[in-house]
């Protein structure tokens, strides 16, 4: 078939609709999902089972290319699921992300002209400070194949990770092969190695390596573990080497038992002039350069004053709390993850910040508890997960009646739905500034300000 790509789906793949005849001669619509294509392109595609309503297929040929199409620089791009837009010029990606944010808020009845152009990166490569690689059953280390969760693309390079992170990951891969260690088979639930998490501070250069395995490094694996320790000694910036036991059937990086092989169980990082300790399970923005811009924008748009009280919802380890604390009278941070709250307290102490209170509780109940002792906030900030804050939390924020609300979001759809809840409480959206933290992917972050109407 020859089809026109008229839009992109939520995963960033091209979307086409065409008509074909079924076996009875009736016209039926066929919806096609075609990865690595761009809006406005005309492509030739071969479709198996065209009698189905929807199919996914790669383009056989680009008959008419978009003027924004470029050559993908990574050798893994066509198969790897880490990036979806390396074939798209960076300017085209940024324009699409701006239009997407505008469309999402317009759907909820807001003025799309309130959305500024997306702030991109000067150099949109090597930007990630954390990667999670997966071991295939034969021990190969890499990333999942696009659209095939059970297939792993062996790692040779990764252009969105730092060169140092790739280098140490390849050294671990070589160690696995030399010791003939098995990878984990998701279907049979057997095998040793599951994931490798590598994290690097771009500010301090420190690297953490965390190896997730189905058993500990004792007894039969002690020799292999000792060799891994020895091999990592040549990488002077590896300050934390961990072996983490994970026997759960769920395919996610988690730990039931922690073995510290070498160094500390955390690394130091810095952001916006503040120092943070990062453990293997600490949530921290994965693009430090753009994350600093997020913090700077939040401070600039919020205009905090030293006479104001502030609440920081979903505060994590204090990424926004610490910079804001130095600009307000007092700040209360709320986060459901207890380990993150302990980290936030420690980070505040490390940075000599004494006007903060941190509470380990869910957002809705945490607000109630803080309001009792804290009083009405002048400024409230929230940075929820991709699922958004939800109607109950947003209505609780509306009833608290802060003068200004700063909402940082990684999902324009749930952001628009959330802020719609505030209209009945007398608030209006003032500005939305998208920031690109994940070049070559569909994701976009934003900072917004919502103010109480006078």
pLDDT tens per residue across span 48-104: 877 788 899 999 999 999 999 999 999 999 888 889 999 999 999 999 999 999 999
> 74 catalytic, yes or no?
no
Encode pLDDT of 224-242 as tens digits: 999 999 999 999 999 999 9
Give residue 5's pLDDT band: very low, low, confident or very high (50, 70, 90): very high
CA-to-CA distance for 17 and 162, rounded, in angstroms? Answer: 39
Give residue 13's pLDDT band: very low, low, confident or very high (50, 70, 90): very high
Query: Which residues, listed in sequence order, are joined to residue 143 by a DSSP beta bridge?
Result: 153
The pTM of this model reads: 0.93
Residues 115 and 144 in one domain: no
User: Residue 38 is part of which domain span?
Assistant: 2-69
Residue 73: what pLDDT?
96
Q: Does residue 259 have a pLDDT over 80?
A: yes
Residues 297 and 424 in one domain: yes
The candidate with the shortest Cα–Cα distance to 314, out of 366, 378, 383, is 383
Q: Which of 80, 83, 158, 410 is catalytic?
A: 410
Residue 375: what pLDDT?
86
Q: Does residue 150 have a pLDDT over 80?
A: no
Residue 139: what pLDDT?
87
Residue 82 lies in a domain: no
- CA of residue 435 relative to chain centroid, distance: 13
Give residue 373's pLDDT band: very low, low, confident or very high (50, 70, 90): confident
* CATH assignment of the domain containing 360: 3.40.50.150
* CATH assignment of the domain containing 144: 2.40.50.1070
- Residue pair 364/391 in contact (Cβ under 8 Å)? The answer is no
Residues 416 and 307 in one domain: yes
Residue 189: what pLDDT?
87
Residue 144 lies in a domain: yes
Q: Give the list of residues 6+ apart from residue 174 with CB closer than 8 angstroms, or none.
A: none
In angstroms, what CA-CA distances link 43 with 38, 178, 225? 10, 45, 51
- Residue pair 433/298 in contact (Cβ under 8 Å)? The answer is no
Residue 264: what pLDDT?
97
Residues 99 and 65 in one domain: no
Residues 297 and 244 in one domain: no
Number of domains in the chain: 3
* Residue 132 token pair: 């999670």
Neighbours of 260 (CB within 10 A): 11
CA-to-CA distance for 326 and 322, rounded, in angstroms? Answer: 7
Residue 402 lies in a domain: yes
Give residue 149's pLDDT band: very low, low, confident or very high (50, 70, 90): confident
Residue 277 lies in a domain: no
Residue 305 lies in a domain: yes
Encode pLDDT of 314-365 as tens digits: 999 999 999 999 999 999 999 999 999 999 999 999 999 999 999 999 998 9
Residues 377 and 257 in one domain: no
Residue 276 lies in a domain: no
CA-to-CA distance for 160 and 226, rounded, in angstroms? Answer: 30
Residues 420 and 378 in one domain: yes
Residues 233 and 261 in one domain: yes
- Residue pair 177/139 in contact (Cβ under 8 Å)? The answer is yes
């Amino acid at each position: 078939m020859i089809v026109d790509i008229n839009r992109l789906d939520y995963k960033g793949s091209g979307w086409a609709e065409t008509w074909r005849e079924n076996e009875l001669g009736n016209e039926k619509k066929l919806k096609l999902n075609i990865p690595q294509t761009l809006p406005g392109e005309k492509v030739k595609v071969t479709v198996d089972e065209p009698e189905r309503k929807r199919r996914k297929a790669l383009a056989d040929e680009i008959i008419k290319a978009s003027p924004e199409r470029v050559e993908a620089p990574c050798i893994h791009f066509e198969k790897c699921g880490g990036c979806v837009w390396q074939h798209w010029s960076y300017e085209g990606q940024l324009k699409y992300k701006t239009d997407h944010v505008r469309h999402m808020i317009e759907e909820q009845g807001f003025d799309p002209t309130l959305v500024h152009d997306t702030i991109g990166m000067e150099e949109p490569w090597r930007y990630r400070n954390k990667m999670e690689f997966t071991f295939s059953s034969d021990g190969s280390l890499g990333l999942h194949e696009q659209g095939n969760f059970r297939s792993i693309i062996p790692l040779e390079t990764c252009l969105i990770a730092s060169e140092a992170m790739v280098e140490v990951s390849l050294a671990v891969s070589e160690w696995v092969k030399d010791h003939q260690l098995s990878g984990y088979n998701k279907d049979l639930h057997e095998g040793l190695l599951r994931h490798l998490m590598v994290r690097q501070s771009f500010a301090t250069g420190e690297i953490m390596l965390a190896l997730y395995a189905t058993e500990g490094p004792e007894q039969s694996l002690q020799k292999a573990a000792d060799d891994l320790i020895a091999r990592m000694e040549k990488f002077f910036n590896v300050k934390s080497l961990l072996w983490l036991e994970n026997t759960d059937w769920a395919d996610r990086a988690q730990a039931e038992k922690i073995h510290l092989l070498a160094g500390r169980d955390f690394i130091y990082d810095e952001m916006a002039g503040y120092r943070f300790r990062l453990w293997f399970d600490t949530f921290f923005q994965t693009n430090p350069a753009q994350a600093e811009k997020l913090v700077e924008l939040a401070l600039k748009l919020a205009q905090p004053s030293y006479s104001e009280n502030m609440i920081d919802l979903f505060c994590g380890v204090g990424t926004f709390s610490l910079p804001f604390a130095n600009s307000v009278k007092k700040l209360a941070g709320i986060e459901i993850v207890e380990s993150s709250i302990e980290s936030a307290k420690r980070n505040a102490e490390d940075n000599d910040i004494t006007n903060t209170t941190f509470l380990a509780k869910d957002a809705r109940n945490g607000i109630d508890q803080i309001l009792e002792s804290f009083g009405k906030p002048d400024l409230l900030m929230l940075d929820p997960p991709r699922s958004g804050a939800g109607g109950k939390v947003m209505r609780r924020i509306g009833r608290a009646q802060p003068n200004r609300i700063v909402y940082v979001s990684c999902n324009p759809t749930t952001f628009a739905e959330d802020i719609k809840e505030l209209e009945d409480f007398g608030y209006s959206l003032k500005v939305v500034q998208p920031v690109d933290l994940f070049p070559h992917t569909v994701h976009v972050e934003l900072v917004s300000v919502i103010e109480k109407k006078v």
